[in-house]
């Protein structure tokens, strides 16, 4: 029994025994040498090779926002010294918005070993290495390594395969920078790095990135907006989380891709940028412009006001007009009936906002970020909403009525009378309101989508209460009810008239669909509407339980299934190249505008030019109205041209990671968003969501006209 226990202890302890190769669950680690025999007094190189499982990674000396670098503790004979790890050029890992610097697949961490000239006997190298390896989870691992090398009068190279590994590792190490570098700090505290690489050809340089050597001085960034000119490279950065002042010298690794005659080549340079007190760059970070943070009470108030103003947005008009007509039909009836109607409508709005809050919290927990109106970036959702508008329009036109077995289909519940109809009218109002952003809403939504779940739910419910409040007040206040016209034949004509705004809304959603999927979207949408109308016609032909009736119902069901089957095709179909590229052929008007990129915005601002940025989307009615009444009038076009404004337009009709990151940085949850960067300004001015021509002209009036 004692022998068995002793053997068991040996087996359990075996992973900790020193060896040249250690195999863990996620990494195969091996200690290698570039010499087979070492010469006393002559330095040589060893390397810790790490081969990781697919999708797993370890960390660089500055791991970024999380993680730990690999560490090696050496046990060496007297007089033998080991240098620090010579790190390869890292990769950028964006894990759910957390930015890390590290390595994947296969790397070799080099260490220089220097034996003394009087060393005798075999050279025994012992190392204790610790590393953190991550994918969805992070696991700390370790290994004990031992490597014994004979001594010889002349160093003997290792085998060709090992030498090839060392040669590859040396090529992956950054070289000393041939250019001087400096950095300055803006008034907001953010550093800007300037590498005085004069003579570079900007069109041959791309993918410029600076990896700071130390954690905390500079924030880890998923993307940096470097500008390359003949004078050198300029990289705006963000201050890190360290509480200490920025150092006298900012060290790091500059990586860039150069286009040569033989193809693109990645180059890496270690540099140390000295702090230049005389260099105070303009703040090119957008963070300061969106840094205003509301309190919880302010966010609730802004959400309530935003919901109130949302009633004036054009996207909600058809639904509110339809509900107002329904309320007018109740004039002269019992007040209790009107109160029930108002409460049911309010309940529909609040339940919908609560459901939306639950979806937001769930998506944020799984994906990491969510934005207002995100569902309208899905072509499937756009098609379904087009169907909904079309069916409600048919009901208002009198093509069919609910109250019989057709009510079981569930479509058009918003057009029913009574409490049920009022409830689903509230639901419909919320659905059509989500592409709109009203004044006060942007700041409140930015707060809500960045807070814990209870605050998110509370702010969205406050917004829902604001949306429902006018109708609720009308249904609860007898004095207001007395101002309503008496019911009469005009109500039927009004009901039929209100079908046309619903048809117009359906046409608008089809147009949005074409921006997301291309011209095929029109075919799917119109074909689906024909099938739905055919199904409704079949169901109206008769009731009962005869074989003919069941056949008609079966055909109607098939027609509806075929209509909804188009959603599978849309989900597989990517957006058109035109739309995805934001070209003038997409749904957003690009005439006279450049496509937004953060790099272009930063470069134009750094050059001292005024910059106007319009973040828009084809499904955002407020955006389109602002274009017509404020941004594309002859007067504003002329003012933009005279002031030499660089006009950039960000098309968010489809998902765009760069635009989403800017919105998040500015604490904004959706479009429209307008930024105006005056020459010399440290940060852009965020303009209101509803623009006027006078407002734009006023902003441009302070800019000196450019000379021709």
Residues 339, 465, single domain; the answer is yes
Which band of pLDDT confidence, cut at 50, 70 and 90, is reported for residue 313? low
pLDDT at 13 over 70: no
Residues 227, 94, single domain; the answer is no
Residues 558, 583, single domain; the answer is no
Task: Find the largest Cα–Cα distance for the chain.
Answer: 113
Between 54 and 296, where is the model more confident?
54
pLDDT at 184 over 50: yes
**Quick one: pLDDT at residue 2?**
36
Which band of pLDDT confidence, cut at 50, 70 and 90, is reported for residue 250? very high
Residue where one domain finishes, among candidates 216, 242, 275? 275
Closest CA to 236 of 251, 223, 252: 223
- Burial-class residue 522 by CB neighbours within 10 Å (0-12, 13-18, 19+): middle
Which band of pLDDT confidence, cut at 50, 70 and 90, is reported for residue 223? confident
Residues 538, 395, single domain; the answer is yes
Q: What is the pLDDT of residues 575-627, one digit of tens each?
A: 433 333 344 334 455 678 998 988 888 888 878 889 999 998 877 767 877 88
Residue given tokens 């009469």 in the structure block: 488
Between 245 and 128, where is the model more confident?
128
Asked if residue 161 belongs to a domain, the reply is no
Cα–Cα distance for residue pair 105/52, rounded to 1 Å: 5
Asked if residue 284 belongs to a domain, the reply is no
> Do 326 and 338 meet the contact criterion of CB atoms below 8 Å apart?
no
Residue where one domain finishes, among candidates 554, 574, 594? 574
Task: Give the strand order in the sheet containing 673-677.
Answer: 594-595, 646-651, 611-616, 673-677, 685-687
Residues 661, 625, single domain; the answer is yes
Q: What is the pLDDT of residues 320-351, one digit of tens each?
A: 666 666 666 665 566 777 788 888 888 988 99
**Quick one: pLDDT at residue 17?**
46
Q: Give the structural domain span for 357.
A: 296-517+519-574
| Strand 263-275 versus strand 175-176 pairing type | parallel
Average pLDDT, the chain: 79
Residues 119, 51, single domain; the answer is yes
Span of 64-78, 445-459, 686-700 with lowest mean pLDDT: 445-459
Segment of 173-177, 237-241, 552-556, 703-707 carrying the highest mean pLDDT = 173-177
Entry field: residues in the chain? 708
Going 366 to 369 to 374 to 379, the CA torsion angle's sign is: negative
Closest CA to 615 of 658, 652, 565, 577: 652
Which band of pLDDT confidence, cut at 50, 70 and 90, is reported for residue 413? very low
Which band of pLDDT confidence, cut at 50, 70 and 90, is reported for residue 146? very high
Which band of pLDDT confidence, cut at 50, 70 and 90, is reported for residue 142? very high
Q: What is the DSSP letter of 707?
A: P
Asked if residue 148 belongs to a domain, the reply is yes
Count of domains observed in the chain: 4
**Quick one: pLDDT at residue 708?**
46
Q: Global pTM?
A: 0.46
Span of 179-193, 267-281, 645-659 with lowest mean pLDDT: 645-659
Which band of pLDDT confidence, cut at 50, 70 and 90, is reported for residue 408? very low
Phi, psi torsion values for 573, nearest 5 degrees: -85, 120
Q: What is the pLDDT of residues 484-516, one digit of tens each?
A: 666 566 666 766 777 787 787 788 778 777 766
> Do 286 and 602 meet the contact criterion of CB atoms below 8 Å apart?
no
Q: What is the DSSP letter of 629?
A: I
Over range 642-659, report the average pLDDT. 84
**Quick one: pLDDT at residue 451?**
66
Name 181's bridge partners: 195
> Do 88 and 107 meet the contact criterion of CB atoms below 8 Å apart?
yes
**Quick one: pLDDT at residue 176?**
92
**Quick one: pLDDT at residue 581?**
37
Residues 569, 584, single domain; the answer is no
Residues 362, 505, single domain; the answer is yes
**Quick one: pLDDT at residue 326?**
62
Residues 266, 214, single domain; the answer is yes
Residues 568, 661, single domain; the answer is no
Asked if residue 165 belongs to a domain, the reply is no
Residue where one domain finishes, among candidates 533, 559, 574? 574
Asked if residue 399 belongs to a domain, the reply is yes
Span of 66-75, 215-224, 481-490, 653-662 with lowest mean pLDDT: 481-490
Domain CATH number, residue 207: 2.60.40
Q: What is the pLDDT of residues 53-102, one digit of tens each?
A: 998 999 999 998 888 999 999 999 999 999 999 999 999 998 766 788 99
Over range 266-291, report the average pLDDT. 75
Name 227's bridge partners: 234
Asked if residue 235 belongs to a domain, the reply is yes
Phi, psi torsion values for 324, nearest 5 degrees: -60, -40
Domain CATH number, residue 638: 3.40.30.10
Span of 78-87, 291-300, 696-705 with lowest mean pLDDT: 291-300
**Quick one: pLDDT at residue 369?**
53
Count CA within 13 A, CB hemisphere, residue 108: 22
> H or E stretch including 252?
strand 249-260
**Quick one: pLDDT at residue 372?**
55
Asked if residue 589 belongs to a domain, the reply is yes
Residues 682, 615, single domain; the answer is yes
**Quick one: pLDDT at residue 322?**
60
Asked if residue 509 belongs to a domain, the reply is yes
**Quick one: pLDDT at residue 329?**
62
> Do 282 and 227 meet the contact criterion of CB atoms below 8 Å apart?
no
Q: What is the pLDDT of residues 103-118, one digit of tens each?
A: 999 999 999 999 999 9
Ramachandran region, residue 190 (left: φ > 0; alpha: ψ -120 to 50; beta: rest): beta
Residues 548, 640, single domain; the answer is no
**Quick one: pLDDT at residue 491?**
63
Which band of pLDDT confidence, cut at 50, 70 and 90, is reported for residue 315? low
> Do 196 and 181 meet the contact criterion of CB atoms below 8 Å apart?
yes
Closest CA to 651 of 575, 570, 571: 575
Residue given tokens 């907001």 in the structure block: 188
Q: What is the pLDDT of residues 542-568, one digit of tens each?
A: 666 677 778 888 888 888 888 888 777
**Quick one: pLDDT at residue 87?**
95
**Quick one: pLDDT at residue 335?**
73
**Quick one: pLDDT at residue 286?**
56
């Amino acid at each position: 029994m004692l022998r068995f226990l002793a053997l068991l202890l040996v087996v359990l302890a075996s992973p900790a025994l020193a060896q040249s190769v250690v195999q863990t669950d996620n990494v195969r680690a091996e200690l290698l040498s570039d010499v087979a025999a070492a010469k006393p007094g002559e330095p040589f190189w060893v390397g810790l090779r790490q081969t990781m499982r697919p999708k797993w990674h370890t960390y660089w000396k500055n791991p970024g926002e999380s993680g730990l670098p690999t560490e090696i503790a050496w046990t060496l004979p007297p007089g033998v010294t080991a240098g620090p790890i010579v790190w390869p050029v890292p990769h950028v890992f964006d894990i759910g918005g957390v930015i890390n610097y590290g390595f994947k697949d296969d790397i070799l961490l080099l260490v220089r070993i220097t034996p003394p000239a009087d060393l005798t006997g075999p050279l025994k190298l012992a190392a204790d290495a610790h590393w953190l390896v991550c994918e969805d989870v992070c696991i700390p691992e370790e290994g004990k390594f031992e490597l014994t090398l004979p001594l010889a009068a002349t160093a003997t190279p290792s085998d060709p395969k090992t030498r090839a590994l060392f040669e590859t590792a040396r090529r992956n190490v950054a070289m000393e920078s041939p250019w001087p570098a400096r950095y300055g700090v803006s008034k907001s505290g953010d550093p800007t790095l300037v590498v005085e690489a004069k003579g570079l050809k900007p069109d041959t340089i791309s993918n410029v990135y600076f990896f700071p050597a130390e954690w905390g001085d500079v924030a880890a960034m998923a993307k940096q907006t470097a500008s390359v000119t003949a004078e050198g490279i300029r990289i705006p950065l963000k201050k890190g989380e360290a509480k200490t002042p920025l150092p006298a010298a900012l060290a790091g690794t500059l990586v860039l891709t150069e286009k040569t005659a033989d193809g693109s080549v990645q180059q890496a340079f270690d540099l140390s940028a000295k702090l230049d007190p005389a260099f105070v760059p303009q703040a090119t970070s957008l963070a300061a412009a969106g840094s205003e943070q509301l309190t919880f009470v302010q966010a609730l108030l802004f959400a309530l006001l935003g919901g109130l103003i949302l009633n004036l947005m054009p996207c909600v008009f058809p639904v509110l007009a339809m509900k107002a007509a329904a309320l007018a039909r109740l004039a002269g009836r019992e007040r209790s009936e009107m109160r029930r109607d108002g409460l049911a409508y309010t309940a529909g709005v609040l339940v919908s906002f609560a459901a939306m809050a639950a979806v937001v919290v769930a998506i944020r927990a799984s994906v990491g970020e969510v934005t207002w109106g995100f569902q309208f970036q899905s072509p499937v959702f756009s098609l379904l909403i087009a169907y909904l508008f079309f069916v409600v329009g048919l009901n208002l036109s009198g093509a069919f009525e609910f109250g019989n077995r057709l009510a079981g289909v569930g479509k058009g519940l918003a057009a029913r009378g009574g409490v049920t109809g009022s409830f689903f009218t509230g639901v419909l109002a919320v659905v059509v309101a989500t592409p709109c952003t009203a004044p006060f809403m942007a700041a409140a939504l930015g707060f809500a989508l960045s807070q814990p779940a209870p605050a998110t739910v509370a702010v969205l419910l406050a917004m829902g209460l604001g949306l429902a409040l006018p109708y609720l007040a009308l249904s609860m206040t007898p004095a207001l009810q007395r101002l309503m016209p008496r019911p009469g034949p005009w109500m039927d004509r009004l009901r039929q008239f209100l079908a046309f705004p619903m048809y117009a809304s359906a046409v608008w959603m089809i147009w949005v669909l074409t921006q997301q999927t291309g011209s095929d979207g029109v075919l799917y949408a119109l074909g689906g509407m024909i099938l739905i109308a055919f199904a409704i016609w079949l169901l109206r032909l008769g009731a009962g339980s005869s074989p003919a009736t069941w056949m008609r119902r079966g055909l109607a069901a098939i027609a509806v299934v075929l209509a909804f089957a188009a959603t599978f095709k849309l989900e597989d179909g990517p957006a058109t190249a035109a739309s995805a590229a934001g070209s003038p052929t997409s749904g957003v008007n690009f005439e006279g505008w450049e496509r937004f990129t953060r790099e272009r915005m930063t470069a134009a601002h750094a050059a001292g030019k005024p910059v106007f940025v319009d973040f828009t989307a084809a499904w955002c009615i407020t955006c389109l109205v602002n274009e017509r009444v404020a941004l594309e009038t002859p007067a504003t076009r002329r003012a933009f041209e005279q002031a030499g404004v660089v006009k950039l337009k960000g098309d968010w009709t489809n998902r765009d990671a760069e635009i989403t990151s800017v919105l998040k940085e500015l604490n904004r949850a959706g479009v429209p968003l307008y930024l105006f960067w005056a020459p010399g300004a440290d940060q852009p001015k965020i303009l209101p969501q509803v623009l006027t021509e006078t407002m734009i002209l006023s902003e441009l009036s302070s800019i000196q006209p450019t000379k021709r």
